[in-house]
Structure 1
Amino acid sequence: MRKAFSTWIVGAALLTGFSMSVAQTGAQPPAAPLSGTLKKLADTGTIALGVRENQVPFAYVDDSQNVIGFTVDICKALVESLKADAGIKTLKVELKPVTAQTRLALLGNGTIDMDCASVTNNAARQKQVAFSNTFFLTATAFAAKKASNLKSIADLKGKTVVAVPGSNHMVILNELNLKQNLNLRIVNAKDQPEAFLMLATDRAAALVSDDVLLASAIASAKDPGDYVISPDTLAPPEPYGLVMRRDDPEFKAAVDKALSAYLASPAAKANYDKWFVQPIAPRGLRMNFPMSPALRKAYAKPTDSIDPAAY
């Protein structure tokens, strides 16, 4: 197991400016018998969180082989409240690597208890898993080389386009290809870095993904000025949520309670700015992605809705 995916014990609030009352009073025994994931936490004293290795700035491995990122910090903050809901005083946290292809299977078989990544909440996925309240909003777009002059969906007609299988982007791309008769050659990449490499080496004319992930990939490129993100989006804004096992309403309620308290705290805005506005490790990259009015609304009035009108 890599150093990045080590175990630590949570016994205090983890982000400056955010603390639950349990951090001062200690965990209290639960009022009713526990079930599902909370019972597992109480029985094992451990929570397993799924994280990515290469999804800057949400979750990625730094030069010291530690997993860091926006959603990693969010999940660390929530654990303090979950510890109290499980009625225990200490809770070990295990970080386990997942990919777009493995995350649902690892959640289903109990390897992880929650996926702390950038996962789009939609109707199809809700048939398999449960989502927390929204912590981020994104839109599906494409990145291309500036010299290619590709700006609209129509410009992609007949082109080779890459996306990551298991992602919502692949579904959207295939639907558009059929509806608009684009005659695309759609190719797969195992993950976002490989997909961007295919774009950089001209094996694909465009990369379809979330706008924020495209911004991250471009910021990390050798020559960021060589790339552009399409002004034309492929779908309405979509919410990201933390992912849990389906049919475990007790755990979802506990996660939503903790997340709502966190989003209302100064730490939530500070954490956003830390990862999307300020320079980030390891090379001082700047995402230049300030919080949108829609996301500010979602923080003020937490919801797990998939309706774009809710934001």
Structure 2
Amino acid sequence: MKKQLPLLALAALLATQATPTLAGPVLDRIRQSGKIVLAHRDSSVPLSYIDSSSGKPVGYALDLCLKVADAVKRQLNLPKLDVGYLQVTSANRMQAITEGKADLECGSTTNNAERRKQVAFTIPHYITGARILVHANTKFDKINDFEHKKLAITKGTTVLKAVQHANEERLLYIDIVEAPSHAAAVDMLDKGQVDGFAMDDVLLYGLRSERPDPEKYKVVGGFLTIEPLAIMLSKDDPEFKALVDAEMKRLITSREAYAIYDRWFTRPIPPRNVSLNMPMNYLLRDFWKYPSDMVPN
């Protein structure tokens, strides 16, 4: 006769099979520390920025990340989950994820094939394209108008490569100036050190709204790129990614994500309580009909 498992041991085995424990390097770190770290930007308005009136990180992408953090807390059955913040730049944001300094990067990062070699992305929360910020009294209207002119672009962004390609292909001889941050690029434009600033249009409108004299600036040109922006996370923890993807899908299908979008794009936002007046574009609206982390590039 075969030896029977003790009743308690059998019950424990069945319970483990019924409710498998979520495990992985990121999930283990969060479980053990009781803390999730969100990477954010300083001036990617309205996606992720420092509210100068409170000194705290805020934004559309951060609100989505906080929803994801709540889902992590529920799935790990944690009584409490602290949220920490880490400010990053275009140059070091991927390093923050790959080195485990942050668990989610909540900003304005484009999901593309080159970056997916090092990190993973969830479902895009915004789809934008690069355009150019200029002084309102100038006659610049498109990229070709910047022949032999100076154009600022934030270091470490996909826009930089796109403009470099257009510059070489069209023989425009644009003097490309790499700025350490979006805010620094606008300052260069304000001081007359460059003739324009090329970046994702949503960021340009956000930065323009933060200026004391927004009417002195305008956004020009057609899209130089199409950029699906998404929360960035580790590619070495598939269970964590599945959890993040599931929560993003829930937020979209329940339309909670639409309400969060409206809060940041169609209503007054801090610190100046000015609205961007940017209803959801057709690119994102159509993409969210069938939400997926798969993007064409």
Q: Secondary structure at the match of 1:187?
A: strand
Q: CA deviation at 1:170?
A: 1.0
Q: Secondary structure of 1:208's partner?
A: strand
The residue that corresponds to 2:200 in the other structure is 210
Normalised to the residue count of structure 2, the TM-score between the two structures is 0.89
2:164 and 2:221 mapped to 1: Cα distance? 20
Query: 287, 303, 308: which one pairs with 2:276?
Result: 287
Aligned alpha-carbon RMSD (Å) = 1.6
Deviates most, 59-68 or 106-115: 59-68
Q: Please say if residues 110 and 228 of structure 2, whose CA atoms lie closer than 8 Å, have aligned partners that are also in contact.
A: yes
Counterpart of 1:46 (choices 8, 25, 35) is: 35
Find 1:251's aligned residue among 219, 240, 243.
Answer: 240
User: TM (normalized to structure 1)?
Assistant: 0.85
Match among 93, 109, 116 for residue 106 of structure 2: 116
Cα distance in structure 2, aligned partners of 1:266 and 1:233: 28
Deviations 1:236-276 (A, max 9, x none): x2211110112322111110001110112232111111110
- Alignment correspondent of 2:212: 222
2:66 to 76, 79, 83: 76
SS in 1 for 2:251: helix
Where in structure 2 are there 5+ consecutive unaligned residues?
A: 1-17
Task: Measure how far apart 1:86 and its partner are.
Answer: 2.7
One-letter code of the match for 1:248?
Answer: D
Q: Determine which structure has more spread, i.e. the larger CA radius of gyration.
A: 2
Within-5 A mapping of 1:12-23: none
Task: Determine the C-alpha separation between the residues in 2 that align with 1:43 and 1:129.
Answer: 23
- Cα pair 1:121 1:239 within 8 Å, conserved: yes
| Aligned with 1:106 (options 80, 92, 96) | 96
Aligned residue runs from structure 1 range 290-305, under 5 A:
290-305=279-294
Q: Is the 8 A contact 1:215 1:287 kept in 2?
A: yes
Name the counterpart of 1:11.
Answer: none
User: CA–CA distance in 2 between the matches of 1:35 and 1:233?
Assistant: 39
The unaligned stretches of length 5 or more in structure 1 are 1-28
What whole-Å deviation, never above 9, does each CA across 1:128-156 have from its counterpart, x for those lacking one?
A: 11011111110011111122211111111
Equivalence for 1:193? 183
Distance 1:183 1:258 in 2: 46
Q: Does 1:97 align with 2:99?
A: no
1:125-204 equivalences in 2 (<5 Å) = 125-204=115-194
Report the AA paired with residue 149 of structure 1: K
What is the rounded CA distance, in whole Å, between the counterparts of 2:108 and 2:150 in structure 1? Answer: 25
Give the share of equivalent positions with the same residue, in percent. Answer: 30
1:10 aligned residue: none
Give aligned pairs, total: 279
Contact kept, 8 Å, 1:42 with 1:87, in 2: the verdict is no
Distance 1:157 1:250 in 2: 49
Secondary structure of 1:137 counterpart: strand
- Tell whether 2:258 aligns with 1:269: yes
Q: For each residue in 1:88-108, what CA deviation from the matched residue of structure 2 results, as whole angstroms up to 9, or x when unmatched?
A: 232111111111111111212
Preserved CA contact (<8 Å) 2:22 2:239: no
2:222 to 232, 235, 251: 232
